[in-house]
Chains A and B, each alone.
Chain A
Amino acid sequence: MFKPRFRVPIVAAMCVCSLPLLRAQSPELPPGPMQQKVTTSCTECHEPRIILQQRLSKAAWTKEVDKMIKWGAVVDGADHDAFIDYLSANFPPGKPPEPAVRAVPRKKQTGSSQ
């Protein structure tokens, strides 16, 4: 375990490192007028990969967005319908499935953290 005296610098390091890291290492949501707002609201709790694998009707996306708002996602009321339009346009039932991504050994990883 880390000893307590290391915790403050570690918290500082995390604040500096973690958000850029998340954005750099995680797949991105597709471009569109709502891309940034959906990214900000949803990736507070989970990465975009969870969204990228869904293939849902507009009715099902509406239920998901409303459930997530109930569970703490911050979505401006004025953006509610645009969120659903963006998600149902980009991740509809007929779209081919997202390719599977594997966990890889460190040596194959080429991220900026190397």
Chain B
Amino acid sequence: MISRRDFLVGVPVGLAAAAAIHPLLTWAADQQGVFVPGKEGMIVRSARFFDLEMPPEFFDSWITPVSHFFVRNHMHEPSTLDASTWRLTISGEVEKPQTLSLADLSKMASHSVTNTLECAGNGRGFQQPRVPGVQWQKGAVGTARFTGSRLRDVLDRAGAKANGKHVMFHGLDEVPGKVPPFIRSIPIEKAIDGDTLIATRMNGAVLSKHHGFPARALVPGWIGAASCKWLSEIKVLEREFDGNFMKPGYRMPNHPVKPGDALNVDDSHPITALNVKSVIAAPVDGSTLKSRALHVHGAAWGGETEITKVEISTDAGASWQPAQLGREQSKYAWRLWSYLWKAPKAGEYTIMSRATDSQGRVQPATTEWNPSGYLYNAIDKVKVNVQA
């Protein structure tokens, strides 16, 4: 298990006393930055609750190290987590309700999925007009190898009934004030998919606290909010869960709405799979380059689909050339891509990337405005000044 002592390694003494029962205080800020052990270099969108974004320079690895993996918390992380006493209950529309320990899970077949996990709000900071929420730019996304038991096997063990159409997840995160608890559900079809997991490991190591220790749901290809962290309760339901984080949260309008309009929940649907999308990791927007020869690179993903093509434009979208896709690939994982370019002369350039997937979806020039800034996937662009 992760002991408090381990979690607090490196925390200044004054903080440690406070953080002993308040791990949220294991940060300290000054004008230079915020101290978040194990997450150095991440962009701190919020330190209470933790919302940490991966900066563009960390898009350089097909598997994102845990230290660079984004964190999106809706509320306080659990103050007490003990692997020996942790239990997962499975109830609702089942023949045999279950209470499972980590030891019980470890006796079940193990399965691994390399998955690109992206927050539904990734890119919200680029949406115009602006909308409320964490102002993520490119990096509320990462790719990791998750390992655990198949949710299907756990549901089989409990004997899910035929009238069970949705599977609800509830975690141990601690609710501030009167905020509704973070509870969401997924349809049974996705729940029994052989790649949907109750994950206990990430990149080969035990899940860290920020990523849901000791167990989390892993719903591959879907928005991060589907993959509930610190999982403690699974319930099989006849209908979609009807709580704040299903409705009005994490819903998209069925039809385009005018910027500034509110969501009409009766004309909306819950967000499930991710969009087709690419981002440029380098060069960084606004950078000055001393060489005309340039290695443009980034990542592209499509949730449940395969990326078939990434194209680059260096003339603000007038013409497009194919980028080279990285060798490493897996069903739900992003493809890294690169493009070698030599600027014809010194000057200002706009470089753009555009991904296409196996369903024929193409990254659009602009993304349709929606009231919460979900699923932003407009063609990425960076402006550079080539001086050589």
Residues of A whose CB lies within 8 Å of any CB of B are 1-2, 6-7, 10-11, 13-14, 17-18, 21-22, 25-27, 44-47, 49-50, 53-57, 59-60, 63-64, 70-73, 93, 97-98, 100-106, 108-114
Q: Which of A6, A10, A44, A104 contacts B177 (CB 8 A)?
A: A44
Q: CB within 8 Å of A: which of B181-216?
A: none
Contact A103 B177 (CB under 8 A): no
Contact A45 B177 (CB under 8 A): yes
Contact B20 A2 (CB under 8 A): yes
Contact A103 B40 (CB under 8 A): yes
A7 to chain B: closest residue by CB: B21
Given A93-B130, A102-B43, A103-B33: A45 and B17 within 8 A (CB)? no
Contact B42 A103 (CB under 8 A): yes
Contact A72 B179 (CB under 8 A): yes
In the complex, chain A residues whose CB is within 8 Å of the CB of B39? 103
Give Cα A105–Cα B36 distance, bound, in whole angstroms. 8
Give Cα A114–Cα B30 distance, bound, in whole angstroms. 12
Given A49-B44, A73-B177: A113 and B14 within 8 A (CB)? yes
Give Cα A72–Cα B135 distance, bound, in whole angstroms. 23
Give Cα A11–Cα B41 distance, bound, in whole angstroms. 32
In the complex, chain B residues whose CB is within 8 Å of the CB of A98? 135
Contact B22 A14 (CB under 8 A): yes
Interface residues on B, range: 35 or more
Contact A21 B178 (CB under 8 A): no
Cβ of A65 to closest chain B Cβ, rounded Å: 11
In the complex, chain B residues whose CB is within 8 Å of the CB of A109? 12, 28, 30, 32-33, 35
Query: Can you give 22 contacting A-B residue pairs, CB < 8 Å?
Result: A1-B3, A1-B4, A11-B21, A17-B14, A17-B17, A17-B25, A25-B29, A26-B47, A49-B46, A71-B180, A93-B130, A97-B125, A98-B135, A101-B44, A102-B33, A109-B28, A110-B30, A111-B30, A111-B35, A113-B13, A113-B15, A114-B12
Contact A97 B132 (CB under 8 A): no
Given A14-B18, A21-B15: A105 and B4 within 8 A (CB)? no
In the complex, chain A residues whose CB is within 8 Å of the CB of B15? 17, 21, 113
In the complex, chain A residues whose CB is within 8 Å of the CB of B260? 57, 59
Given A1-B82, A109-B35: A14 and B44 within 8 A (CB)? no
Given A50-B46, A56-B132: A104 and B17 within 8 A (CB)? no
Q: Which of A60, A70, A113 contacts B131 (CB 8 A)?
A: A60
Q: How many A-B residue pairs have CB under 8 A?
A: 155
A43 to chain B: closest residue by CB: B48
Q: Which of A14, A57, A71, A97 contacts B135 (CB 8 A)?
A: A97
Contact B46 A54 (CB under 8 A): no
Contact A106 B12 (CB under 8 A): yes
Q: Which of B45, B131, B179 contacts A45 (CB 8 A)?
A: B179
Q: Which of A7, A13, A71, A105 contacts B17 (CB 8 A)?
A: A13
Q: Which of A55, A56, A108 contacts B32 (CB 8 A)?
A: A108
Tell me whether B164 is interfacial, beta carbon within 8 Å. Answer: no
Tell me whether B34 is interfacial, beta carbon within 8 Å. Answer: yes
Q: Which of B29, B42, B82, B129 contacts A26 (CB 8 A)?
A: B29
Cβ of B157 to closest chain A Cβ, rounded Å: 30
Contact B178 A70 (CB under 8 A): yes
Contact A18 B25 (CB under 8 A): yes
Contact B40 A105 (CB under 8 A): yes
Give Cα A114–Cα B10 distance, bound, in whole angstroms. 11
Cβ of B41 to closest chain A Cβ, rounded Å: 6
Tell which of B15, B44, B52, B130 has the most Cβ of chain A within 10 Å.
B130
Give Cα A46–Cα B73 distance, bound, in whole angstroms. 11
Tell which of A14, A22, A113 has the most Cβ of chain B within 10 Å.
A113
Cβ of A48 to closest chain B Cβ, rounded Å: 10
Cβ of A58 to closest chain B Cβ, rounded Å: 12
Q: Which of A21, A64, A111 contacts B132 (CB 8 A)?
A: A64
Tell me whether B176 is interfacial, beta carbon within 8 Å. Answer: yes
Give Cα A14–Cα B22 distance, bound, in whole angstroms. 8
Given A44-B176, A47-B46, A55-B130: A25 and B27 within 8 A (CB)? yes
Cβ of A25 to closest chain B Cβ, rounded Å: 4
